[in-house]
Structure 1
Amino acid sequence: MADFPQHGRIRHSYDTVAEEYRSRIGDELTHKPLDRALLTALLEQTEPGTPIADLGCGPGHVSGWLATQGARPVGVDLSPAMVALARRDHPDLDFREGDLLRLPAADGEFGAAVALYSVIHLAPAELRPAFTEIRRTLRPGGLLLLAFHLGTEVRHLTEWWGHQVEVDFHFLDLTTVEDLLTTTGFSVEARLERTHYPQEADTRRGYLLARRQDG
């Protein structure tokens, strides 16, 4: 599948830190009660048995948790190394390599989607096309759960856990993202923010739960 050249640095960076990322982040949901609650709310409003996209799935830990709740997750990640780890740790689940701007999925394939801290690597101009692409893969009425760091800064990393990388983390404004979702065919049903948990980086976190609108 064709890729977007500007995303090569992101892919390489996550390939480089994949094993370290898994060891540090792979159990993060155990100490994130709000995230689990929001994921549960999404599951309760999604038709049982319909695939749920985990966009930017990393080593597959969120997909793994969704599966324990009886869901049918499909993980998608830009990094081949991350996808390999996810397939190794969760051999019974479906993981695919892909870009948020061109997802490896059919129109209306997913009953819902989650994108936890994955849109933070998109340039501002890429958010609208990414939301349009996510909407394409959702069934009518399907829910999308987004999580991201709040603010206006861009953190550029050249070193991450002792590894050389080249990756940007875009902090986002909650209202700006909500407006973009609205103009790409979603209706935002919930928005909230929280401070960081003790185990997390010191940033405020934003969440939006939006539903695909039709007609």
Structure 2
Amino acid sequence: MTPDQVRATYDEAYARRYDAAFLHTPEYGFREKTRLELFFLRMLTLQVDSWLDVACGTGFFLRNGRGNPNISCTGLDLSPAMLALAREANPEARFIEGDFLAPHPDLEGRFAFTSCMWGAYGLQESVTHIERLVAQLTRWTRPGGTVFLPVFDPARFVALEAQGRLMDTVTLRSPDGTRWSFLEPDGKLHEDVLAPPLETMRAMFEPAFDSVELNPYPDTPGIPFAALIARGRREQLR
């Protein structure tokens, strides 16, 4: 999706219903997914002093995922409508309206913890753009810091389809599950979402971090994810 398409999709009406539709609903295991991600976030932020949430959306995770209640929070998002809700939910945090592929020199090397939630990376126009995003997440994380990125599991997409358990609003656009589309009830279409294989996503982080682990989410009929946690950002980036 282009930046203009993202803004058009994530408008005020969409922003207002986003949390209820994707974070709190029990359908497709979305509520359980949210609870698991809050657990990860709270554990990973327990002893850190700064957090950047990239594609922060409504600010739900920044508000509810703090392990350290005194952590300094910053959110970056392209959608003015989503940012308006994020500011309401986190009045003490700093928010930046902007493209996460654009340069943000003031963010470089500042954050002990960086996250990018709910598959925002998959809305890019090419795998090269995903690689650019990973480079940005790495650049904005200070040496020794951690990145948390929930990633799609394309092999599980294929398995769910074979089992007849794939969400009826999801259509696989490639046999290996690395491209798919999601049609919402109101007609909004997330077309040709990218889901590089898990090991490809791991490999994007490995040159810059001491360790990269992948933790598959529990099996549900919803969108399949794994938690990618890259720890120990190295001093010298390749």
TM-score of the superposed pair, with normalisation by structure 1: 0.81
CA-based RMSD of the aligned residues comes to 2.6
Is 1:188–2:184 an aligned residue pair?
no
Q: Equivalent residue for 2:135?
A: 132
Gaps of at least 5 residues in structure 2 are: 155-176
Is 1:156–2:181 an aligned residue pair?
yes
Is 1:112–2:113 an aligned residue pair?
yes
Deviation per residue, 1:87-140 (Å, 9 max, x gap): 123322222112221254432121110111221212211122111112221111
> Structure 1 residues 176 and 195 mapped into 2: Cα distance closer, same or farther (>3 Å)?
same
Q: Give the letter for the 1:138 counterpart.
A: T
Q: Equivalent residue for 2:14?
A: 17
Q: How does 1:87-106 map to 2 (within 5 A)?
A: 87-102=87-102, 104=104, 105-106=106-107
Q: Give the letter for the 1:7 counterpart.
A: P
SS in 1 for 2:193: strand
Is 1:175–2:172 an aligned residue pair?
no
SS in 1 for 2:100: coil
Gaps of at least 5 residues in structure 1 are: none
SS in 1 for 2:20: helix
- Mapped contact 1:64–1:90 kept (Cα < 8 A): yes
Question: What displacement does 1:162 show?
Answer: 0.8
- Higher Cα radius of gyration: 2
Q: Equivalent residue for 1:204?
A: 224
- Mapped contact 2:44–2:67 kept (Cα < 8 A): no
Deviation per residue, 1:61-89 (Å, 9 max, x gap): 00111347412221111111101111123
Percent identity between the two aligned chains: 23
